[in-house]
């Protein structure tokens, strides 16, 4: 009886030890699994951080490149067009010269005099010198007479009836326009042709017919 009880006790002890060992193994397995999950989570987090840093770096580089291009463009514009305002103001010299010439031409007391002729010759020389200086600095007058009106270069001030020109053709230059390199410094102020009224056109035709019959 004592031997059976002792054997039963030993069996119970071994069973408990096996259960403990089994629980320990299971506990160790769970721990390893948890560690793997943590490590995997850390790996994912690291990859996300690296990707985020790469994106930030790419954006920073793109921003720096844009700033560099803007700076280069501003520097180029400053070099190419830095004298834009000065050039525009300098055109007043040509305008005043042209006005003075017109005033002298319309002065009845000076008409057909040698003094007027000499003065106008000097004015023409000064005008040519100014245009030459401007041209050397890429400031050029706009050629507009007998050209079609271009809103990018010309500004129409008046309409002039003309039988021989297509409507919209520039027939008068009121003020010279200029460009500086590929930019408009100021537009040409011009007069453009327009169609003659039918009544006036008929009168012109009748007049021509009368003149022809008289011949």
Verify that 126 and 147 share a domain, yes or no. Answer: no
Instruction: Specify if 8 maps to a domain.
Output: no
Verify that 116 and 104 share a domain, yes or no. Answer: yes
Verify that 30 and 76 share a domain, yes or no. Answer: yes
Verify that 126 and 89 share a domain, yes or no. Answer: yes
One pLDDT digit (tens) per residue for the chain, 215 residues: 455 555 555 555 555 555 545 554 445 555 556 566 555 555 567 777 777 777 777 787 777 777 777 766 655 655 565 677 788 888 888 888 888 888 888 888 888 888 888 888 998 999 999 899 888 888 899 999 989 999 999 999 999 988 888 899 999 999 999 998 888 999 999 999 988 765 555 555 555 555 554 54
Range of the domain at 29: 25-81
Verify that 49 and 117 share a domain, yes or no. Answer: no
Verify that 42 and 69 share a domain, yes or no. Answer: yes
Verify that 127 and 164 share a domain, yes or no. Answer: no
Instruction: Specify if 1 maps to a domain.
Output: no
Verify that 147 and 215 share a domain, yes or no. Answer: yes
Kindly report the CA angle at 17 between 16 and 20, in degrees rounded to 5? 85
Verify that 124 and 145 share a domain, yes or no. Answer: no
Verify that 77 and 127 share a domain, yes or no. Answer: no
């Amino acid at each position: 009886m004592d031997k059976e009880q002792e054997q039963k006790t030993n069996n119970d002890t071994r069973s408990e030890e096996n259960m403990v060992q089994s629980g320990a193994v299971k506990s160790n397995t769970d721990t390893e699994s948890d560690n793997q999950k943590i490590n995997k989570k850390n790996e994912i987090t690291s990859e996300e951080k690296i990707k985020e840093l790469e994106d930030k770096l790419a954006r920073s580089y793109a921003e720096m490149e844009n700033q560099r291009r803007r700076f280069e463009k501003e520097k180029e514009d400053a070099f190419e067009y830095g004298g834009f305002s000065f050039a525009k103001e300098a055109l007043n010299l040509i305008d005043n010269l042209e006005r003075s010439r017109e005033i002298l031409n319309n002065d009845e007391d000076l008409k057909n005099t040698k003094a007027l002729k000499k003065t106008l010759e000097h004015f023409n020389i000064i005008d040519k010198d100014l245009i030459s200086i401007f041209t050397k600095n890429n400031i050029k007058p706009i050629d507009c007479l007998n050209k079609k009106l271009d809103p990018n270069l010309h500004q129409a001030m008046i309409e002039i009836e003309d039988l021989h020109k297509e409507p919209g053709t520039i027939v008068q230059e009121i003020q010279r326009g200029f460009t500086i390199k590929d930019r408009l410094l100021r537009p040409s102020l011009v007069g453009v042709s327009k169609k003659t009224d039918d009544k006036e056109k008929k009168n012109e035709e009748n007049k021509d017919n009368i003149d022809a019959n008289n011949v």
